[in-house]
Structure 1
Amino acid sequence: MKASQTRRKFIKSSLLTSTVPFLPPLTAVDAGDESHEQAMPRKTIAQTKSIIGSYGPWAASLQAQPSLSFRNARWKPEQLASWKKEAISKTREFLAAPPQPATPKVQIDRTYEYDGLIIEELTWQLPYGSPTKAVVLKPKGAKGPLPAILALHDHAGKKYFGYRKIVKTGDDQHPLLAEHQLVDYEGRAWANEIAKRGYVVLVNDAFAFGSRRVMYEDTAGLPNGPLSTKDKTDADPEKAENIEVYNQWSSDHEHVMSKSLFCAGTTWPGVFLSEDQVALSILCARKDVDPQRVGCGGLSGGGLRTVYLAGLDTRIKCCVCVGFMTTWDDFTLNKSYTHTWMTYVPVLPRYLDFPEILGIRVPLPTMVQNNNQDELYTLPEMKTADRILQEVFAKAGAKDRYAGRYYDGDHKFDKAMQLDAFDWFDRWLK
């Protein structure tokens, strides 16, 4: 299947109909003060049509200009630390991440060699849900402590798989994984490739993916998955047909999970952040890892997780966000329907534009990679996000620590992009 066909299939599977929590009226405090208005004049929306019809310009105007933007003239360059403290506090408030669990005991299930690497298969148990499965990869014979990468897997409408989407641990790779890596990664298991360059790489299943996915048999009050009625002899979960059925069911279930998380007082990005921070703690605690030289990155859903984790956790000394950067306006007016429910944090857009969440990490090294023909975003808004991050880093006196790159092609993290990303990690972590 061609990449564009796969992407269109994913976009189609993302067309989920639901409601969004009611937002209270904008207050004078939210709108910003006079200096804010002078530095960042209220935007005007030129387009008259949008994915929500004639309501688009009105909806986009509700956030006016984010009141906690570091680009605001009321924040002086020398106030960087104060701004970061306030921006982190406000972002955490609306992320509403569940309480951070203690770092769990890690069980090593298997250790072996493959592809010139030592591979450890790990399991740990959080206070809720199924045990988390993960892998660690590092060069055979490497002497520690080494720099490390928390590699964040993608979404791609494929929740049956988690970490397996970006690693290769044997020659008997599942055909669906081989196809996925061919389409999105030019046939490369990128976690393996960066490990070979001298890194300890940890890849964990994210919330609702792989070992952490929602199981048919655990749901109630909804029609159970089609497999629950199939003959037991045809119920092999690794059968390609059954995986595709599960991926469609879990896509249809995504709005249910998101609404339930809102009702529980949290958000999907908040849960991602909490669980990825647990994985980061596990990685940093390893004896073969230098905790002062740890980075993270990933494509698409992995790029989304990079925005929140790297934006809010200073243990991430270097990051690469791939194929997930635009503005809240782009989501509001053009592209919210192409994206997972895992993206959104209600109310936060009043305070920070989407790229500014990642910008909270300034002056720590940050790269963003964009594809010019990516159907998930509009190119003008990708470039607007790039300019926002350039301005944030320049104002903080860290212009050389931000890099925004553009590549021809659809949504992907191909070999050329991987090499640029790996060189960026080498520059700042080695």
Structure 2
Amino acid sequence: MKWTAGTSILLFAGALASMATAAEPEPLRLLPCDTTDAASLRAWQQRARVTLSVLLNMDDQIVANRHDERGRSPLPLHPKVLETTREKAFTRYLVEIDSRPDRRIKVVLTVPNDARPNRTPAVVCIHGHGGNRDIVYNPNNNYRGFARVLAERGYVTLSTDVGQHTVQSPHRTLMGERLWDLIRVVDLAASRPEVDSTRIGCAGLSLGGEMAMWLGAMDQRIAVAVSSGFLTTMENLRHGHCMCWDFPGLQRRYEFSDIYALIAPRPLQCQNGQKERLPGGFPVSLAKQAMADIRQAYRAAGHEEAVELAVHPAGHVFDVPSAVRFLNAALKPGG
């Protein structure tokens, strides 16, 4: 090639065009929820769960864990009771179970002292960043002791430690490992003689609210979900927040409202406080924006009444009275 000033200009222009193309963000939300009608929604949900299980690197685990008609897992838990403490209304156990054959996790389990076989509802109670399995029972923090309140009101409750920022297995994802541990906690709940396996719910705050979203979306044994202090948009969480919520392929295909839509038509309550911090918090304005999309899914399913956004006057805290009301309506109707 003979080099001239014109050639240099053309090459430079081509390089700029290439750089501009490379800098363009990849398209986002290519597989949004299909709310055309109930049948379209169900078909989309089925496809989305398969896609997400692959993106989460846990499709093999989900296939292996196909439960029976009573919600019981074929995978052994090998439960071992490490501690027992009897209180006035319930007995607290510290139980160790298999998450995977090479990984044991500890679970706080409370059982009402007057529990009857196959009659008791259960709630998986999920903590957020910097928390642990015990913190949701403590009334002196932003969880407001919601797990203890439920335990005292006749629920079986379960809580385990949620992974923070470390992946245990190199071929898994952080979100997939978090979710799998919680699915195994649901397995434990379904295995308990006191628990009515058709009445298992989940509730959490912050990262716990996020995991309540994921657990309700991916495990259809969850009959009701309360997701507190998380409803927002992915665009918001890309600023002023750790990116532990993300994994390859997620943003290209879905928005958080799509993940929540996988819970439809089962009851879903999202909670957001009016005093949430910015940036990186979960403001009511963005929650309302996301909820509008979620409502479309529930409307398509014919159960718009089953979803609600509970706005409270505080900040990043769990609204216990609202959650108890919602869980009671779904898991203890008339009682």
TM-score range, shorter chain: 0.7 to 0.9
Which 4+ stretches in 1 moved above 3 angstroms?
A: 62-66, 125-131
Q: Which residue of 1 aligns with 2:93?
A: 120
Give, in angstroms, the shift of residue 370 of structure 1: 0.7
Q: Which residue of 2 aligns with 1:107?
A: 80
Give, in angstroms, the shift of residue 112 of structure 1: 2.4
Give, in angstroms, the shift of residue 165 of structure 1: 0.8
Match for 2:77: what amino acid? P
Q: Which residue of 2 aligns with 1:237?
A: none
Give, in angstroms, the shift of residue 99 of structure 1: 4.4
- Separation in structure 1 between the aligned mates of residue 103 and residue 275 of structure 2, nearest angstrom: 38
Matched, 1:82 2:38: no
Structure holding more strand per residue: 2
Matched, 1:141 2:141: no
Matched, 1:363 2:265: yes
Give, in angstroms, the shift of residue 143 of structure 1: 2.3
Q: Which residue of 2 aligns with 1:338?
A: 241
Q: Which residue of 1 aligns with 2:19?
A: none
- Separation in structure 2 between the aligned mates of residue 77 and residue 412 of structure 1, nearest angstrom: 34
Helix, strand or coil for the counterpart of 1:317?
strand
Matched, 1:278 2:154: no
- Separation in structure 2 between the aligned mates of residue 127 and residue 273 of structure 1, nearest angstrom: 13
**Tell me, which stretches of 5 or more residues in structure 1 are unaligned?**
1-56, 169-180, 209-253
- Separation in structure 1 between the aligned mates of residue 179 and residue 322 of structure 2, nearest angstrom: 26
Give, in angstroms, the shift of residue 64 of structure 1: 4.5
Give, in angstroms, the shift of residue 295 of structure 1: 0.3
Q: Which residue of 2 aligns with 1:201?
A: 157
Distance 1:127 1:139, change over 3 A: closer
Distance 1:266 1:98, change over 3 A: farther
Helix, strand or coil for the counterpart of 1:163?
coil
Matched, 1:184 2:157: no
- Separation in structure 1 between the aligned mates of residue 226 and residue 89 of structure 2, nearest angstrom: 25
Which among 398, 405, 416 is matched to residue 310 of structure 2?
405
Give, in angstroms, the shift of residue 279 of structure 1: 1.0
Q: Which residue of 2 aligns with 1:294?
A: 200
Q: Which residue of 2 aligns with 1:43?
A: none
Helix, strand or coil for the counterpart of 2:44?
helix
RMSD of aligned alpha carbons? 2.3
Matched, 1:327 2:301: no
Match for 1:338: what amino acid? H
Q: How does 1:215-226 map to 2 (within 5 A)?
A: none
Give, in angstroms, the shift of residue 192 of structure 1: 1.2
Q: Which residue of 1 aligns with 2:15?
A: none
Give, in angstroms, the shift of residue 372 of structure 1: 1.9
Helix, strand or coil for the counterpart of 1:131?
strand
Matched, 1:68 2:3: no
- Separation in structure 2 between the aligned mates of residue 189 and residue 65 of structure 1, nearest angstrom: 36
Q: Which residue of 1 aligns with 2:215?
A: 309
Whether contact under 8 Å (1:66, 1:353) holds in the other structure is: no
- Separation in structure 2 between the aligned mates of residue 130 and residue 348 of structure 1, nearest angstrom: 26
Match for 2:128: what amino acid? D
Which among 85, 88, 91 is matched to residue 52 of structure 2?
91
Distance 1:404 1:312, change over 3 A: same
- Separation in structure 2 between the aligned mates of residue 412 and residue 58 of structure 1, nearest angstrom: 38
Distance 1:98 1:314, change over 3 A: closer
Matched, 1:420 2:326: no
Give, in angstroms, the shift of residue 98 of structure 1: 7.1
Match for 1:70: what amino acid? D
Distance 1:167 1:296, change over 3 A: same
Helix, strand or coil for the counterpart of 2:162?
coil
TM-score, structure 2 as length reference = 0.80
TM-score, structure 1 as length reference = 0.64
**Tell me, which stretches of 5 or more residues in structure 2 are unaligned?**
1-22, 65-74
Whether contact under 8 Å (1:97, 1:273) holds in the other structure is: no
Q: C-alpha offsets along residues 339-376 of structure 1, whole Å, 9 cap, x if unaligned?
A: 3x431122222222112112112111111011122121
Q: Which residue of 1 aligns with 2:282?
A: 377
Q: C-alpha offsets along residues 33-68 of structure 1, whole Å, 9 cap, x if unaligned?
A: xxxxxxxxxxxxxxxxxxxxxxxx964xx4355433
Match for 1:372: what amino acid? Q
Match for 2:49: what amino acid? I
Q: Which residue of 2 aligns with 1:392?
A: 297
Higher relative contact order (CA 8 A, sep 6+): 1
Helix, strand or coil for the counterpart of 1:338?
coil
The number of equivalent residue pairs is 294
Match for 1:331: what amino acid? L
Q: Which residue of 1 aligns with 2:128?
A: 154
Whether contact under 8 Å (1:103, 1:278) holds in the other structure is: no
- Separation in structure 2 between the aligned mates of residue 396 and residue 279 of structure 1, nearest angstrom: 28
Whether contact under 8 Å (1:103, 1:282) holds in the other structure is: no
Structure holding more helix per residue: 1
- Separation in structure 2 between the aligned mates of residue 418 and residue 428 of structure 1, nearest angstrom: 15
Match for 2:152: what amino acid? K
